[in-house]
Amino acid sequence: MSSTTTFALIRHGQTDWNAALRIQGLSDIPLNDTGRGQAADAVGHLADYEWDFVVSSPLSRAAETADLIADGLGLTVTRRIGQIVERDYGPAEGLGAGPELDALRLPGDPTGIGGFHGAEAEATVAARGADALLALAEEHPGARIIVVSHGTLIRLSLMRILDRPIGTISNAALTVVAHDQAGWTLDVLNGAPSSTALAPAP
């Protein structure tokens, strides 16, 4: 068996808060019908490759996305992993752009998207996400695993394991990374091939 473990990282489908541009974080907001359709579309992108099983965040928007994908591919969701829940945004959760959210921003945040009073530190999010992926790779060497999680968790985890900037992760878009003894490689980001193409499994 190959020692390369391959991950399809999928952000959950759309929720009403996504559509309204409200910060979700740990708030357990369910998928809307658009999100369920996006999960079905993700099945089509994943079906060209062989996958062994699915894991997900326990938050309902990720769990339902994972269940829909697993059903569509004839796979099993084997675990809900608490380490890959979304970033805790604290008092910013539920807010959209405006004075109330601006009042929570930390001074000196160059991105304007990450720094909020009372939010979980980005470094903490990155570490727990990267650690969860590495644990899966070590537990299942050579496996091909679909991981359904959240946009910020995926983005920050990728930045940690790849040591490069990563932009916004779209709802239900396919990102593929692989881990072997040499480290991590990126094959597909947000549905677009990276420099190394992912070849369909025979």
User: Is 86 part of any known ligand binding site?
Assistant: yes
User: Is 79 part of any known ligand binding site?
Assistant: no
User: Is 12 part of any known ligand binding site?
Assistant: yes
User: Token pair 């985890």 is at which residue?
Assistant: 157
Amino acid at 149: S
User: Is 28 part of any known ligand binding site?
Assistant: no
User: Is 100 part of any known ligand binding site?
Assistant: no
User: Is 61 part of any known ligand binding site?
Assistant: yes
User: Is 71 part of any known ligand binding site?
Assistant: no
- Reply yes or no on whether 64 is catalytic: no
Catalytic residue among 12, 120, 150, 179: 12
- Reply yes or no on whether 179 is catalytic: no
Catalytic residue among 50, 64, 86, 93: 86
The residues annotated as belonging to the active site are: 12, 86
* Annotated binding-site residue numbers for substrate: 11-18, 61, 86-89
* Annotated binding-site residue numbers: 11-18, 61, 86-89
